Amino acid sequence: MVQIGVAPAAGTGGGGFPGIFGGRENAGVLLSRLDRFNQRHPWSHNDHYSRWVGAQVAASGARDVLDVGCGTGNLVARLRDSATTVSALEPEPATVRVAAQRFADDPAVTIVEADFAGRDHQRR
């Protein structure tokens, strides 16, 4: 899910967005509205781009694929359509459990609790 945020404008000392949002208070109102919007309309880049990514993997002829930050495995499922094996990294333990259970019957999918920096560097 994409979260939209607002950072202090340069030169404002973190005091808001004069001329844009009318100060810190109005920026807070905007952030609150954006948060409510995101809660009602979640968006996943993996879901949005999965067909394109899957087509690129298939066209490349890749057999062994790595998904970094796999979440619950939506992109893993798409990648599995064309790849021989899919290894997937996910740092969040609860999400790893969901993804691992989802692919428990598929020996060609491996879900690992790790981020990219914490992965097993010896494993390919």
**25, 30, 75, 97 from 13: Cα distances, Å:** 15, 19, 41, 43
How many CB atoms are located within 10 Å of the residue 18 CB? 12
pLDDT of residue 12: 43
Per DSSP, what are the bridge partners of residue 64?
A: 85
pLDDT of residue 107: 97
Per-residue pLDDT of the chain (124 residues; tens, 9 = 90+): 333 333 444 444 444 445 555 555 677 788 888 788 878 887 777 788 889 999 999 999 999 999 999 999 999 999 999 999 999 999 999 999 999 999 999 999 999 999 888 888 777 6
Per DSSP, what are the bridge partners of residue 85?
A: 64
Buried b (16+ CB within 10 A) or exposed e, 96-107: beebbebbeeee
Rounded to whole angstroms, how far apart are CA atoms 21 and 102?
45
The amino acid at residue 54 is G
Rounded to whole angstroms, how far apart are CA atoms 48 and 123?
29
Over residues 90-118, the pLDDT tens digits come to 999 999 999 999 999 999 999 999 988 88
